[in-house]
Chain A
Amino acid sequence: MPVKGRIVRISGPLIIAENMQGAQMFEMVRVGEDKLIGEITRIRGDKAYIQVYESTTGLKPGEIVEGTGAPLSVELGPGLLGTIYDGVQRPLPLIAETIAREMPHRRMFIERGVQVPPIPRDRKWPFKPVARIGDKVEGGDVIGEVEETSLITHKVMVPPGLKGELVWLATEGDYTVEDIIAQVRVDGRTVDLRMIQRWPVRIPRPVKAKLDPTEPLITGTRIIDTLFPMAKGGTGAVPGGFGTGKTVTLHSLAQWSSARVVVYIGCGERGNEMTEVLERFPEYKDPWSGKPLMERTILIANTSNMPVAAREASIYVGVTLAEYYRDMGYDVLLVADSTSRWAEALREIAGRLEEMPAEEGYPSYLASRLAEFYERAGRVTALGSPERSGSVTIVGAVSPPGGDFTEPVTSHTKRFIRVFWALDTKLAYSRHYPAINWLLSYSAYTDLVAEWWHKNVDTRWKEYRDEAMEILLREEELQEIVRLVGTESLDEKDKLILDTARLLKDGFLKQNAFDPIDAFSTPEKQFKLLKMILDFHKKALHLVELGATVAQVRDALGRLYVEMVKAKFSIKNDELEKIEDLRNRVLKALEALEARLG
């Protein structure tokens, strides 16, 4: 029997209810007459402390709180892709429909207490059985398939923990998620299986084994793929002050990266940023398949004006959905914008619970919560058969107050991630986008993914990549000197370093996310551009060593210099021979200079 108590106190998103003996920690409850969704976050005596996922305006002491007997869970099954949910998995378009039925003029607003199922109950899906009656099955085994979208075949899996004999399996045909599609005999008992399943969001879904990441997650952003690569199943953070490009970076990842499924969590950020994805993704094409991007995307929106407690939940809802598709064998990318808002939600609830604050008011368990979240990323062997591996890559934006990276969320996050794309206010002010600072950023996957590049793109990838890094680092040292004495007193070699660094920045690192040609560079294009610039550098260095001045080199190049800078947005991914040609012309021009020097 689920518990039933009464509200005794309301303070913002936190309420206290009494007479709650038997309530479970993290149990989902229904609060008040409107049956608002809440979750128990502390139990003391017969009192339960409950964070409420909707506005508590108008609630009164004395109203009833009912337990549901289960922890906060998500619904899993076909119908998730292409949907936008709120922080507790209510589909936002259905909320609007529901409100519009009673109050058409309030359609655009989210009112409280609307109850809508996350996965449509009436829609029929074409189910194809892939197991056979009589099979011994266990958690994770694929027993059927559904074309969920033109991009993703949904694997219908035996829920984790179940083991027995498949005694009945539906034939090929159209079924709703609630129709029984299989029966399993477990210890003499028959268990019905449906396409819909539930999973508690705070518990990671089990896997057979965790594997090391090996493949890069190609993003098409040059500074990322070439200098600070992400791996499938890896973890990364994008910290930066406001306006430095966190959201554009995450949007680009969601749009271009080589993941099969993308879960985008808008956690405490702008409504319009979700709208942007919602309006564009159905039109944009997945660069890897040409199909509409929305067919691989799930959006979760708890925007900054939506209830704070649901912000805390949204992260777990998102990562659970990501794990579900991972278990089917897909490479899933989860991006969360912004994990700082999630941490602040934790702080706010902790403050209302009058917990002892640690740094800057954050609760002492901030670090462990962050660790648990990023720990749910990884490349894995999924449970069950057929044998398959999948991955969840997690990238979180971090919004440090005043852009100061020493604050608790940034500094703790750094401990649990392997890729750090540090966004820099100074670069953003001068519109150097993406404003990823190459001195502060790092990736622990560079060596891991080098093998992939060497096999698929060019065997000298790592060598070129390291040289580019070296030039950029050397430039920074030289800039220190320039700031004191100007450029004229530098020797010619150092001047060349400055020139090449500028070429690298303007012609390679800067990348306009909104330019149709520039926005996405294939790995091949990235390498060709880099090679062109660095081969120029090598040759020019040789000439300078022979006594040429940098000014002479620049003269010899003439318009070729501008052509090199503009190659990124004037040469398309499928015209790479033009980069090769440009490179040859550059080298020829330098050879001509060499000849003149004698």
Chain B
Amino acid sequence: MSVGVAGIREYSRITEIKGPLLIVEGVSNVSYDEIVEVELPSGEKRRGRVLDVARGVAVVQVFEGTTGITTTGTKVRFLGKPLEIPVSEDMLGRIFNGLGEPIDGGPKIIAEDERDVNGAPLNPAERSYPEDFIQTGVSAIDGMNTLVRGQKLPIFSGSGMPHNILAAQIARQATVRGEAEEFAVVFAAIGIKYDDYMFFRKFFEETGALNRVAMFVNLADEPAMVRLVTPRSALTLAEYLAYERDMHVLVILTDMTNYAEALREISAAREEVPGRQGYPGYLYSDLASIYERAGRVKGKKGSITQMPILTMPNDDITHPIPDLTGYITEGQIVLSRELHNKGIYPPINVLMSLSRLMKEGIGPGKTREDHAEVSNQLYAAYSRGVELRSLAAVVGEESLSEVDRKYLKFADLFERRFLSQGPRENRSIEQTLDIAWDILSTLPEDELVNIKEETIKKYHPNYRKM
């Protein structure tokens, strides 16, 4: 062994290589989760971290993979600290790899500080409950699944569906009413295809947002293990900007399915007892260590709003990745292939979607006093319409009662008038609620059982005309 500067220790006894793992022997003073630099005989350097350590033996996970690594001639340096990235306000407008190193050819980042990418858990007693309404301009979200500042709200999508367009639309249109300030955006590309990455890049360029966006990019053809770090690097910067630089940060993480697959790979290499579909039993806690890095804290102006995107394998919402995500996040926006195939954009399945923080973000002074009741009524009426639609498919529309046929029509109106809008159409919350009243008024007034009389008298088109 040779001791270098500042507690850096170097070893070269690699006894085993399997998958992304190196077993290094003869080590001493190695700590759990410590970061490692691996130098190949060619001089190429890779990074890794300690996953397990016993006396004299360390298991090292190499982020860039072990391809080409030999047991002889390879040097492993233990750097004496967990993986850190520099943080600075100047990182906005820049592009980094998953480990936080600039890849845009720009100048080196002058760090205001170095931070452990793993972060630390937010103290629940120091959080402050998110409640500021974000107007996204998308009716299905604002009207029925309202997003608030500091929320973590994922998009559950499937391959070939317009989740990128929707995420970009939200990023462009999102505003907190009464505040001029725009969101800073931290974008993490996790194992996505080059064209998906270019879509976002062009989008940020076109909207002139590039200077308030920091991108952390790990593409599909880049090392899979870096995917485990990419969202954490992004969130480390986001935390710095939100809690120390008073910014409102929107974090987009795409695609979390690739993240979970990388985690499965490392778990398999460690020969751990697999859980459902081969994913490790700790997938829940691991995902939570990412998703919970959102919110607001007491006494600080800034916030982190998270919008993870994931593609559901086979459109299956019970697959472990969407399932565990839904158990952690504060709701979900679910895209529907059926609506997509019908040509409806955004193809949001509102019945499966949910915003758990909606109730605090809406109502008088925030959106409008009728919001909660209107939303409840839309849900009740649309779900009844959808139910009757499948019934009508069996027994025929003519054997439905007159009222039931009105519900059928309502479901169509809901999809064509309320749900459907252009990717650049930015509706105010008032417009959204007014459309809702328009379509609700096609139902007999007695059917609006979720709305109080006073509210009907004030907002129902029948009374407003007078």
Residues of A within 8 A of B (CB): 8-12, 16, 55-62, 84, 92-93, 95-96, 105-111, 241-243, 266, 268, 270-272, 274-276, 278-279, 301, 303-306, 308, 341, 344, 347-348, 351, 357, 360-361, 399, 401-404, 429-431, 482-489, 506, 512, 514, 559, 561-562, 565-566, 569-570
Question: B residues within 8 A CB of A429?
Answer: 351-352, 383
- Chain A's interface: helix, strand, loop or mixed, by majority? mixed
Decide yes or no: A270 and B354 within 8 Å by CB, A107-B126, A488-B401, A569-B452 being known contacts: no
Among the listed A8, A430, A561, which residue makes an inter-chain contact with B351, where contact means beta carbons less than 8 Å apart?
A430
Let me know if B331 and A304 touch, CB within 8 A.
Answer: no
Complex Cα–Cα for A248 and B130 (A): 17
The answer, yes or no, to whether B122 is at the interface (CB within 8 Å) is yes
Residues of A within 8 A of B51 (CB): 11
Say whether B380 contacts A57, CB under 8 Å: no
* Residue in A16, A57, A486, A514 whose beta carbon sits within 8 Å of that of B359 in the complex: A514
Closest 3 interchain pairs by CB?
A304-B288, A402-B318, A486-B395
CA distance in complex: A401, B400 (Å): 37
B125 touches A109 (CB 8 A): no
Kindly state the separation between the CA atoms of A317 and B315 in the bound complex, as whole angstroms: 41
Task: Please tell me which one of the listed residues A56, A303, A506 contacts residue B449 in the complex, with CB atoms under 8 A apart.
Answer: A506
Complex: chain B residue closest to A515, CB-CB: B372
Given contacts A56-B32, A486-B399, contact A110 B129 (CB under 8 A): no
Q: Mark B19-63, 1 if CB is under 8 A from A, else 0.
A: 000000000111111100000000000000001111110000000
Q: B282-296: which residues lie under 8 A (CB-CB) from chain A?
A: 282, 284-285, 288-289, 292-293, 295
Do A110 and B123 touch (CB < 8 A)? yes
Residues of B123-138 at the interface with A, using a CB-CB cut-off of 8 Å, are 123-130
Q: Does B118 contact A (CB under 8 A)?
A: yes
Give the CA-CA distance A58 to B35 in the complex, in Å.
10
Does the CB pair A304–B292 fall under 8 Å? yes
Residue among B121, B125, B380, B391 making CB contact with A93, cutoff 8 Å: B125
**Given known contacts A243-B354, A565-B449, A430 and B379 CB-to-CB distance under 8 angstroms:** yes
Tell which of B272, B323, B383 touches A431, judged by Cβ atoms closer than 8 Å: B383
Can you list 22 A-B pairs, Cβ within 8 angstroms, ordered by A? Answer: A9-B54, A58-B82, A60-B30, A61-B30, A62-B28, A109-B119, A243-B331, A243-B356, A268-B285, A268-B288, A275-B125, A276-B129, A301-B124, A303-B121, A305-B285, A305-B292, A399-B327, A403-B318, A431-B383, A485-B399, A512-B376, A562-B446
B318 and chain A: residue at smallest CB distance? A402
Q: Flag if A308 contacts B285 (CB, 8 Å).
A: yes
Q: Which residues of B contact A110 (CB under 8 A)?
A: 120-123
The interface residues of chain A lying within 8 Å CB-to-CB of B33 are 56-58
- Quick one: which of B351, B391, B401, B449 contacts A483, CB cutoff 8 A? B391
Residues of B close to A93: CB separation below 8 A: 125
Instruction: Judge whether B121 and A306 touch: CB under 8 Å.
Output: yes
| B465 on the A face (CB < 8 A) | no
CA distance A506 to B379 in the complex (A): 13
Residue B226 is within 8 A (CB to CB) of chain A in the complex: no
Proximity bits, B354-375, A CB within 8 Å = 1, else 0: 1011010000000000001000
Q: How far is the CA of A96 from the CA of B328 in the complex (A)?
A: 24
Q: Given B52, B293, B300, B380, which contacts A11 in the complex, CB threshold below 8 Å?
A: B52
Does B391 lie within 8 Å of A401, measured CB to CB? no
A279-B129, A308-B285 provided; 7 other pairs, C-beta below 8 A? Answer: A9-B52, A58-B34, A92-B126, A243-B354, A270-B328, A271-B127, A348-B281
Nearest chain-A residue to B317 (Cβ)?
Answer: A402
Give the docked Cα–Cα distance between A76 and B384 (Å). Answer: 53
A361 CA / B272 CA spacing, docked (Å): 10
A57, B118: Cβ atoms under 8 Å? yes
Known A11-B52, A270-B328, A514-B372: A275·B128 in contact at CB below 8 Å: yes
In whole angstroms, what is the CA distance A56 to B399 when docked?
A: 66
Contacts A8-B54, A429-B383 given; indicate if A351 touches B281 (C-beta within 8 A). Answer: yes
B400/A486 in contact, CB under 8 A: yes
B297 at the A interface (CB under 8 A): yes
A79 to B84 CA separation, bound complex (whole angstroms)? 40
How many inter-chain contacts with C-beta < 8 Å in the A-B complex? 222
Within the assembled complex, what's the spacing in Å between the Cα atoms of A487 and B392? 11
Chain A residue with Cβ nearest B331: A243
Partner of A430, one of B55, B125, B383: B383
Contacts of A305 in B (CB 8 A): 121-122, 285, 288-289, 292-293
Given contacts A110-B123, A272-B330, contact A570 B285 (CB under 8 A): no
Contact (A401, B320) CB under 8 Å given A60-B32, A483-B391: yes
Min C-beta distance of A269 to chain B, whole Å: 8
What chain A residues lie within 8 Å of B118 (beta carbons)?
57
Q: Please state if B449 and A275 are interface contacts (CB–CB under 8 Å).
A: no
What residues of A have a CB within 8 angstroms of the CB of B5 in the complex?
Answer: none
Q: Which residues of A contact B129 (CB under 8 A)?
A: 272, 275-276, 279
Q: B323 contacts which chain A residues (CB < 8 A)?
A: 241-242, 401-402
| A304, A484, A512, A562 interface centre (most CB from chain B within 10 Å) | A304
Q: Which residue of B lies closest to A430 (CB)?
A: B383
What's the minimum C-beta distance from A356 to chain B, rounded to whole angstroms?
10
- In the bound complex, what is the Cα–Cα distance between A16 and B55 (angstroms)? 10
Is A270's CB under 8 angstroms from B330's CB? yes
B residues 85-124 near A (Cβ < 8 Å) are 116, 118-124
Q: How far is the CA of A16 from the CA of B57 in the complex (A)?
A: 14
User: Is A57 touching B82 in the complex (CB atoms < 8 A)?
Assistant: yes
Partner of B130, one of A272, A351, A486: A272
- Known contacts: A270-B328, A272-B357, A431-B380. The answer to whether A61 contacts B55 by CB under 8 A is yes
What is the distance, in angstroms, from A38's C-beta to the closest C-beta of chain B? 14
The distance from the CB of B398 to the nearest CB of chain A, in whole angstroms, is 9
Q: B122 to A108, Cβ gap below 8 A?
A: yes
On chain B, the residues within 8 Å of A487 by CB distance are 399-401, 404
Question: Are A483 and B394 touching (Cβ within 8 A)?
Answer: yes
CA gap between A110 and B274 in the complex, in Å: 30
B29-A60 in contact (CB<8A): yes
Structural contact, B380 and A430, CB atoms closer than 8 A = yes
Within the complex, the shortest CB–CB distance from B357 to chain A, in Å, comes to 7
With known contacts A10-B53, A272-B357, A305-B292, A266–B391 Cβ distance under 8 A: no
Q: How far is the CB of B356 from chain A (nearest CB, A)?
A: 7
- List the A side residues contacting B352 at CB < 8 Å: 429
Residue interface mask B282-326, A partner, CB < 8 A = 1: 101100110011010110100000000000000000101001101
Contacting residues, chain A, for B275 (C-beta < 8 A): 360-361
Q: A306-B121, A401-B320, A484-B394 are in contact. Are A341 and B284 (CB under 8 A)?
A: yes
B124/A303 in contact, CB under 8 A? yes
User: In the complex, how many angstroms separate the beta carbon of B374 from the nearest chain A beta carbon?
Assistant: 13
Please tell me if the beta carbons of B32 and A278 are within 8 angstroms of each other in the complex: no
Contact in complex: B272, A351 (CB < 8 Å)? yes
CB neighbours of A361 from chain B (8 A) = 273-275, 281
Which chain B positions have C-beta within 8 A of A12? 282
Interfacial residues of chain B within 378-398, with CB under 8 A of chain A in the complex: 379-380, 383-384, 387, 391, 394-396
